[in-house]
A and B are shown apart, each in its own frame.
Chain A
Amino acid sequence: MHVKFCLFSTRARCFSIALLSLVLGGCGVSAIVKENEVIKVKDVSVTSPLRFSQFGTSRERYWTMDGLMLNDFRIFADVKPGENLFLNTKSRSERKGEGSLYKKGMDALEVQELFVDTLKSAGLAEVSSSGLKPAPFGQRSGFRFNLQFQTPGTGGGLIYRAMVLAEVESDTLSYLYFDAPAEFFFERDKTAIEKLFGSVTAPSVR
């Protein structure tokens, strides 16, 4: 019953990264994002509507208000063909070219599908997607969609909702991702996250 960091593997990894960055000083990324601060990840910029704790690296950022199990916002920039969505260390099968890898030529439908497969492979239950539609990603043409899943296994069943704003340009994928429990947290934080999604600036030509 004491500390259980791991509800599922991607999150376990997030927690460990969080812990590591808090202990080691955050890999050069500031541990706090202030209200109205502009944060740039590669050439994707967003303006934060609230204060968050932050950890990550030059291409990946995790923000949270109440811990990653309660709200988990991510900015990933320039995911390259052959990498996985969350830039995790590649698994054995991924090194062999199998598994949920981002590929050259993937379009919106396939990116959405890749998110679903990634979450399923991470062990989450009842993963589904909905609402895929074109949407601006700063100055680029992007798309957005929603996800839903549940924590797995015995003691599982907590429903999470997620939303993703993404774009593919020059064969690399950049996206903003947010998930939170459907009960209370998602609805409470949605407005702030919509603001964040709307604040993206990304130059249309690199």
Chain B
Amino acid sequence: MLALTACATRNLPDAGAQHREQVVEQDEAGLWAQMDRIEALMKEAPERVRDPALQTYVDELKCKLAPDICADIRIYILRQSQFNAFMTPNGAMGLFTGLLLRCEDEAQLASVIGHEIAHYQKRHVLENWRRAKNTAGWVTVIGMLAGGSGIGALATIGAYVNFASFSRTQEKEADEVGFASLQQANYASDAPSLVWANVLEEEKLDPRPFLSGLFASHPSSPERQRYLAEMAKQPSAAASKARGAIDFANAIAAHRSQWLDDELARRAYRQTELLLNRLGKIPYGQGQISYAQGELYRKRDLPGDLNRAAAAYQRAANDKNASSVVFRDLGLTLKKQGDQKGANAAFSEYLTRSPQADDAAMIRSYINAR
């Protein structure tokens, strides 16, 4: 709570329970109506992950963090490989799967959700909106927002994310309010600083806005890392400890392979390599990570990479739940290395495991090539 008093600019009362009922001012009503429309479209967006189990999981987490206004917040999980989350002023939160993939446990996810809820409670978007009204620089963004009904596709969400980039003061306030909710729900207090440190590490490799959407305004602020780490060291923070690593791993298990595929599709090799090395240390789903490492090195194909790929596929193949494609891609790698015999063995294993495979004809032609 140390810094709440530091936020001198805060002049809007918090959004409490059922704030919707209290939205009477013209500009806030307009903003809410606009966001309601976007939200209605977001519900139908093809990126939306429609998995009742995962939805229940994040919804319960949301209610743990904000029991009073839990019903006012709706979470949408969106299949996007970026590390990102956003909060609309009417209470719709977007969580990108690239963010879920990067969290190591429930406490880390909770720290992001708590932070986003804080933006809602503190009505930061309305604050920005009011400030923006007399700034010509906002015209383009708002124009996109305004035009984005039904045709604007992701541009709408993109424009929104830009629009909702918060000031340093607002981010700090959200960090503090989020931190308090994290403690109240008994989650490990170092979770926010860990999330942030991981983001910074990946970002160092390629400082594009890819990762920093959540922290768009001041992506590389070391100051932020500092105060988050300091908050975690407060004596009052020592008591909250829960990490929920197993629960989190179980909640995302069914989707993780797909999200890893999406991550690999970026072909941002250096960032993905770092990410996979980090996730490889988590004692869950290591077979998935080994396979992803094989994919990464095979796709990158720098000197030595095919050896790394083959070794990673071999590790993945040893997993008793290994998918048949592990053998196909191992075969492909061995073929590229000139080991036709090894390749044929792996391809045959693939066809034995998946005789009806969609690409069986192609794989058979590889085996028969020599």
Contacts and interface: CB of A to CB of B under 8 A. Distances in A.
* Touch A–B, Cβ below 8 Å: yes
Interface of A: 1, 4, 6-8, 92-93, 98-101, 103, 105, 107-110, 113, 116-117, 120-121, 123, 125-126, 130-134, 143, 145, 150-157
B362 A98 contact: no
Please indicate which of the listed interface residues B147, B268, B362, B366 has the most CB atoms of chain A within 10 Å of its own CB. Answer: B362
Contact of A8 (B81, B153, B265): B153
A148 B215 CA distance: 34
Nearest to A109: B332
Given A92-B208, A132-B362, A134-B365, A1 B45 contact: no
Contacts of A143: 362
Contact of A133 (B45, B152, B269, B359): B359
B35 to A, nearest CB: 11
Contacts of A151: 46, 153
A154 B156 contact: yes
Sort A-B residue pairs by CB-CB distance and give the 5 closest, nearest first.
Answer: A153-B154, A154-B41, A153-B153, A125-B46, A155-B150
A182 B322 CA distance: 34
A121 B261 CA distance: 12
Contacts of A105: 301, 336
A117 to B, nearest CB: 4
A4 B270 contact: no
A180 B155 CA distance: 22
B15 interface: no
Contacts of A121: 265-267
B159 to A, nearest CB: 11
A4 B147 contact: yes
At the interface, is chain B mostly helix, strand, loop or mixed? helix
B148 interface: yes
A21 to B, nearest CB: 24
B42 A110 contact: no
Given A153-B153, A153-B156, A154-B38, A126 B359 contact: no
Contacts of B206: 93
Nearest to A149: B46
Contact of A1 (B79, B151, B262, B269): B151
Contacts of A157: 44-46
Contact of B270 (A98, A107, A117, A145): A98
Given A100-B267, A151-B153, A156-B47, 12 more contacts: A6-B155, A93-B206, A105-B336, A107-B335, A108-B362, A121-B266, A125-B45, A150-B46, A152-B46, A153-B46, A153-B157, A154-B44
Interface string B251-293: 0000000000010111111100000000000000000000000
A132 to B, nearest CB: 4
A142 B151 CA distance: 38
B223 interface: no
A153 B47 contact: yes
Interface of B: 38, 41-42, 44-47, 79, 81, 147-157, 206, 208, 262, 264-270, 299, 301, 328, 332, 335-336, 358-359, 361-362, 365-366
Given A107-B335, A131-B358, A133-B359, A152 B265 contact: no
Contact of B361 (A1, A117, A134): A134
Contacts of A93: 206, 208, 268
Contacts of B41: 154-155
Contacts of B299: 110, 113
Contacts of A4: 147, 151-152
Nearest to A134: B365
A107 B270 CA distance: 23
A8 B152 CA distance: 9
Contacts of B328: 109
B208 A117 contact: no
Nearest to A113: B299
Contacts of B267: 98-101, 117, 121
A50 B322 CA distance: 48
B170 to A, nearest CB: 25
B153 A154 contact: yes
A7 to B, nearest CB: 6
Nearest to B332: A109
B291 to A, nearest CB: 14
A105 B328 CA distance: 17
Contacts of A109: 328, 332, 359, 362
A131 B47 CA distance: 24
A105 B335 CA distance: 10
Nearest to A131: B358
B11 to A, nearest CB: 32
Contacts of A156: 45-47, 153-154
A155 B265 contact: no
Contacts of B81: 120
28 contacts: A4-B147, A6-B155, A8-B153, A99-B266, A107-B336, A108-B362, A109-B328, A109-B332, A110-B299, A117-B266, A120-B265, A121-B267, A123-B153, A130-B358, A134-B361, A152-B154, A153-B47, A153-B152, A154-B41, A154-B42, A154-B148, A154-B153, A155-B151, A155-B156, A156-B153, A156-B154, A157-B45, A157-B46
